Amino acid sequence: MRNRIAILIAVTMLMTACGTMKKAAGDQQQGNGMGQTTPTTTSDPRDAVIATLGDWNTLQTGGNIALKGGNNFSSSMQMRMVRGQAIYISLRPLLGIEVGKLLITADSLYAVDKVHKRYIAEKVSLLTAGIPVTVSDVQDIFLGRPFVIGQGTFGEALKDMINVVQGSSALTLSPNEGYKGYGYAFTFDKSNRVTGLNITREGSAEPSYKVKYGAVNRTPAGNIAHNIDVDATVEKKKIAFSISYKNIDWNGSVKIDRNIPSGYKRMSAADLFSLFSN
């Protein structure tokens, strides 16, 4: 049981940021479409995907987050987002009592572990490694919305940047150009509901970061995945976790808590990564 709350906070932080930092355009593996031309059809399947994506400004939801594997642990949570500005996650495993929280903004990240009375406050560049991933990109991963790294959610203005492969039972979208040896691709079912996101290192047969999306429902913000399963390798550590949402409230007033309690010990980046060895 030791450190599970802290590990859960660290995993959430790393997977919302570090995992996405390794993504790039144009996965070369297993028929993801890099280097292939868009097949000629009577209609553009990219338009059908665009039609499923709505607009939004804020989000607030409850749900659950669970670690899988050697550090099995589950916690209820609250999530709040301000589009393009902030992602806030509050962990509440028992009776609605907050034991930890995470905040990611355009330039900073904060994590507070109330169980061990410690916190992390760093520039988001700790995890981005210079790759131009944005808060909007991370939000899209959480919600199952396709995007172009650093350019925003997939839409009419980005169509020429997206390669599409239409299969008999699935559709794959991937950006045309790669980034620093990594590629990524989104998959959709026949109803244009997102089913997955794979991030793969060039030359690798298997994705290093896999997201499976489920319970994709129509909302005021368009099609949104309410279940997310992640399997990834971060700092050579295998990490798996799942997130589920319920009762999403769109475009209301959202409070983002930026306070760090007094008397807490500050953790370093080295402390963060050491959690995976405990």
- Please state the pTM of the whole predicted model: 0.80
Q: Are 20 and 133 in contact (CB under 8 A)?
A: yes
The whole-number pLDDT of residue 186 equals 93
Instruction: Please write the tens of the pLDDT for every residue from 240-254.
Output: 889 999 989 999 999
The whole-number pLDDT of residue 123 equals 74
Query: In this model, does residue 204 exceed pLDDT 60?
Result: yes
d(CA 253, CA 248): 13
In the chain, where the domains are located: 4-277
The whole-number pLDDT of residue 26 equals 32
d(CA 70, CA 241): 11
Residue range 51-61: mean pLDDT, rounded: 95
Write the CA distances from 75 to 32, 68, 101, 120, integer angstroms. 34, 12, 12, 20
User: Which of 73-87, 137-151, 178-192, 260-274 is least confident?
Assistant: 260-274
The whole-number pLDDT of residue 132 equals 64
Which is the CATH superfamily of the domain at 4-277?
A: Lipoprotein localisation LolA/LolB/LppX (2.50.20.10)
Q: Which residues pair with 50 in a beta bridge?
A: none
What integer best gives the mean pLDDT of the chain? 77
Q: Is 106 in a helix, a strand, or coil?
A: coil
Beta strand pairing call for 182-188 and 222-234: unpaired
Residue range 55-70: mean pLDDT, rounded: 88
The pair phi, psi for residue 111, each rounded to 5°, is -140, 135
Query: In this model, does residue 29 exceed pLDDT 70?
Result: no
Q: Which residues pair with 158 in a beta bridge?
A: none
The pair phi, psi for residue 59, each rounded to 5°, is -140, 140
More confident site: 277 or 106: 106
Residue range 189-205: mean pLDDT, rounded: 84
57: confidence class by pLDDT, cuts 50, 70, 90: very high
The whole-number pLDDT of residue 80 equals 95
